[in-house]
A and B are shown apart, each in its own frame.
Chain A
C-alpha cells in the first residue's frame, strides 16, 4: 500500500514535469533551440504565485492565471529582445544567451527572496483524500490532474487549431510558411510565450503542493532536459509520457535508495539515453 502511494505521488509530480517540459520541447522542436533558463521560468512562476497570494490574497485560480500570464509576457519579451538576435548567430551565442539569462534570473531571485525554502500559505485546497487506502493530499492531486489536462490542451492546440497549424508550419519550413502569409517572427514569439507560460503555470501548480527555494530552477531545468530527451525532441505527447515516467522513477528511487538518489538516477538515465537512444522514446530518428 505504501508502494502504491509512492507511485501515485510520483505520477502526480511527473504530471507537472510533463507540463513544463512540453514548453521546452515546443521551442526545441520549432526552432532547434535549447532554453537553459526554462527551469528558472518555472521558479519565477512559483514566486509570482507567492507574491499574488501575499499581496493580493488571491486563490489558486487567480495566482495560476497570474503566473501563466506574467511568464507568457516574459517569454515574448525574451524572444523579442534576445533570442531573435542570437537564433541566426553562432552556437556559442545561442547557448550563452539563455545560459546567462538563467544565471541572471536565478541569482536575482536569490538576492530578492533569499536562499530559504518557502511555501504558499494554506489555500482553499487542503486535506487528504482516501482512495481505497491510498492517501492522496488534495493539493498534489489537483495540481497533477490540472497539469495533465493542460498538457493535453497544449497538444490539441498545436494539432487542432489554426494557430497551432501556423506554428507547426513555421517549424516545418520557415520560408514556405512565410510565402503562405504567416509571419514567422510573430509565431516564434508566440511559441516562446506559450513555452514560458506553460512553465509559469506549472510553477504555480508546483507551488500549491511543494515548498521551494530559488535553486529549484536549476533542478527543474535539468529535469526538463531529461524529460524532453526521453520523450523525443519536439513531441508534446512524448513529453507527457516521459514526464510521468521520470516522476515515477524519481519517486521509486527516493523510496528504495533514499531521497538523495532521485536526481542522480534521473541524470544517469539522461546520459544512458544519449548513448542508446538519443532520439527519445517517441522521437523520429
Chain B
C-alpha cells in the first residue's frame, strides 16, 4: 500500500490541533505554547542558517527588536501591542540589510562573527537606554482593555495563534523549497563559487534569505512579548535566545523543512524536564546540556536527526515514502 506523501502532514496538523483539548492543564498548555514559539523561531532561522548555509549566531537581534516593538508602542502611545509588530519587522529588515551587505561579500565566518557582535551590541545598548526601560525592560497591559490587546488569562488562544503562524511559515518554506529561490539557496550552500559561476545572483539571494528569516524571527519575538507582557534585554537579545534557535534547527536537521520542528519536539520537553528536576539550578545545567548537544551534532551528525534517520531507516520504508 502506498501512503500518500501528504498523510504525515495532515496527521501532524490534526495532532497539533487537538493537543490542547487532550492536555488541557496549564502545565501542558505552557509546554505546547513554548514548543510552538521555539519551532517558529528555529524555522525562521532555518531559512538563512539551514537552507542558505549562512550560520547566524545572533538571531536574537531580530527576535529582540520584534519583542520590544509591541510593548514600546504600548508604553509610549497606549496602542494595542499588536500595532507595534510591523515596526519590529521594519527595523529587523533594515538591520538585516545593514549586516548582510558587508558580511555576505566575505566568507561565512564573517557573517557569524558579525551577527554575534551586533546582537551583543544591541543587548548592551538596550540595557542602558531609558526609553526602552534600560535593564528593567518594558511591560504590556496588565489587564486587557479589549480583545485587541491580545491579553488573555488562558494560554489557549495563544496556542492557536502560534500554531497558525507556524503553519504559514512552514507552508512558505515548503513553497520556497520547490521554487527557483530554494534551488539557489541550496546551490549557495553547496558551493558559493560554483553557484556564482553558474549565474546565481549569490549576494542578492543571501540578503533576501536573511530578510525573510529576520521578518519571521521578529514576528516570533513579537508573539513572545505580547504573550508574556514583559521583555528585558536578556530575554530579548540574550545570546541564549540565539543559541536556542541554532540548536533546535541543527538537532532536527538544518536545511530540512521539518528539521526545526523535530528539534523543538525533542528539546523543549527536555528543557522543561531539566528545569523541573533541578529547580532553580536547572537553567545552568540546561545550557551545559545545550553545549554538549551542539558539540556532538557538529562532530558526529552535522545533518541532524533527519539525516541520521534517513541513513538508518529500513530500506523498504524509505522507498515507500520517497517523494
Contact = CB atoms under 8 A, between A and B. Distances in A.
Interface stretch (A43-51, A61-69, A87-95, A236-244): A87-95
A92 B114 contact: no
B302 A93 contact: yes
Given A93-B299, A100-B291, A271 B284 contact: no
A92 B53 contact: yes
A104 B109 contact: no
B291 A104 contact: yes
Contacts of B297: 93, 96, 100
A163 B285 CA distance: 41
A95 B55 contact: yes
Contacts of A268: 121
B188 to A, nearest CB: 11
B57 A111 contact: no
Nearest to B254: A92
A90 B53 contact: yes
A102 interface: yes
Interface stretch (A117-125, A141-149, A259-267): A259-267
A108 interface: yes
B121 A264 contact: yes
A74 to B, nearest CB: 14
A82 B254 contact: no
Interface residues of A, number: 44
Contact of A260 (B128, B287, B298): B128
Contacts of A93: 297-299, 302
Interface string A14-37: 000000000000000000111010
Given A107-B287, A110-B284, A267-B121, A101 B250 contact: no
Contact of A103 (B49, B110, B243): B243
B305 interface: no
Interface string A122-159: 00000000000000000000000000000000000000
16 contacts: A32-B109, A36-B57, A82-B295, A86-B302, A92-B250, A93-B299, A104-B294, A107-B284, A107-B291, A229-B113, A263-B121, A264-B128, A270-B113, A270-B117, A274-B106, A278-B106
Q: Nearest 6 A-B pairs (CB), nearest first?
A: A100-B294, A104-B291, A103-B291, A97-B298, A93-B302, A100-B295
